[in-house]
Amino acid sequence: MAGLHAFTWLCTVIICMAHVSSMPTTCRLQKRLMERCHDILEKMGDRFPLHCLEGNVLVPFPEAAFQFNTSQQAVALEKTIYLTLTSISSLFDEDGVPDQWKNLEDFQNIIYRQIEENECIMNKTQDSQEDFLRREKVLKEYFNKISAVLKEKNFQVCGWEFVRKEALITLQFILNKDVEGVLFSSRG
Proportion of the chain above pLDDT 90, given as a percent: 45
By three-state DSSP, how is residue 184 classified?
strand
pLDDT tens digits along 179-188? 556 567 655 4
pLDDT tens digits along 133-167? 899 999 999 999 999 999 999 999 999 999 999 99
Contact 67, 15 (CB under 8 A): no
3-state secondary structure 120-161: HHHHCCCCCHHHHHHHHHHHHHHHHHHHHHHHHCCCCHHHHH
Please give the pLDDT value at position 179. 52
Residue in 104, 81, 79, 82 with CA at minimum distance from that of residue 164: 104
- Average pLDDT rounded to a whole number, residues 28-50: 89
* Fold held by 26-185: Growth Hormone; Chain: A; (1.20.1250)
pLDDT tens digits along 54-83? 877 889 999 988 887 776 678 888 899 999
- Please report, for the chain, the start and end positions of each structural domain, with discontinuous segments joined by +: 26-185
Please give the pLDDT value at position 11. 39
| Strand-pair partners of 185 | 30
For the ranges 3-7, 72-76, 143-147, 173-177, the maximum mean pLDDT occurs at: 143-147
Displacement of CA 166 from its chain's centroid (Å): 13
In whole angstroms, what is the distance from residue 79 CA to residue 73 CA? 10
Binning pLDDT at 50, 70 and 90, where does residue 177 land? Answer: confident
Quote the pTM value: 0.80
pLDDT tens digits along 94-104? 888 998 898 99
1 pLDDT higher than 70: no
Q: Is 97 left (phi over 0), alpha (psi -120 to 50) or beta?
A: beta
